[in-house]
Amino acid sequence: MENPTHNDQHYVFVYGSLREGESNNYIVSYSKHLGEKVTKDSYILLSLGAFPGLVDTSVKRLQEHKKTLQKHTAKVKGDLYKVNSATLRSLDQLESNGSFYQRKLINLKDFNKPVWCYFLLEPLNYLMSYYLASTKDGVYDWKTKSLVKP
Catalytic amino acids? 95
Q: Distance between CA atoms of 94 and 149, rounded to whole angstroms?
A: 27
Q: Distance between CA atoms of 45 and 120, rounded to whole angstroms?
A: 10
Number of neighbouring beta carbons within 10 Å of residue 53: 25
Which candidate, 80, 107, 79, 103, places its Cα nearest to that of 91?
Answer: 103
Sequential DSSP letters for 52-96: EEEE-TTSGGGGGGHHHHHTT-BEEEEEEEEEEHHHHHHHHHHTT
